[in-house]
Every structure is written in C-alpha cells, then in structure tokens.
Amino acid sequence: MLVRGIRGATTVEEDQAQQVLDATRELLQIMIEENQVDPEDIASVLFTATADIKSVFPARAARDLGWNLVPLMCFQEIEIGESLPLCIRVLMHINTAKKQNDIQHIYLRQARGLRPDIVEP
C-alpha cells in the first residue's frame, strides 16, 4: 500500500472559532468522501492557517470528527504579500492503493482560486 497526499483548502469570513471549526470540518468530510477514505487509513494530517486566524487550532475539527488517534499538526502559513486571507490549508496523508491521478484535491469557498487548474467549475 502507498502513502498519498490529498490537498485541500477553504476560507472563513472572519476569525471566529466556530466558523474555523465548521469550515475545516466540512473540508475534511468532503476530502474523505470524495476520495472514499476510511479514517482508519489516514496516516497523518497537516494543517496551516494564515496569520489572521488565531481563534482555534483547525486540527480540533478533526478531533471533533473522532480522529483521536490520527497524528495532527498545525502550522502558520508563510505570509506573502497578496496571499489569500483567512485561509486554512490541509495536507492529508492516506494509506491507499490509488494512483496519484485518482486523488481528488478539494478547494472550497475563496480557496477555489488557489488551484483553478484542478477545481471543477
């Protein structure tokens, strides 16, 4: 079995803990649904948030989904002049037999503009 990465990103309207948790939970659920991932097959998940998100760790949304044994880490996204504000990014590592081109990366809300080359209209 291989380890593959699934990328995802979303945004919130403002830095409020419930908004961050809801948006992150939605993103994680879509990532696992679209890729038919059993949470038991998740090797680890890395989260980044832009510097304007300080209310809560996005990884808490994964814990709220019951992913209590999955290794999770949060980081601050590098600040680049015109980067997308209020953005949460995810890199989920999964154990799978899928090929790289079978992985569905998920971009929601304003984050859809980060990868227009792979986001369906």
| Active site (catalytic) residues | 7, 63, 74, 77, 89, 107, 115
Tell me if 45 sits within 8 A of 75, measured CB to CB: no
Question: How deeply is 74 buried, as exposed, middle or buried, from its count of CB atoms within 10 A (0-12, 13-18, 19+)?
Answer: middle
Q: Alpha carbon of 44 to those of 7, 101, 119: distances in Å? A: 12, 20, 24
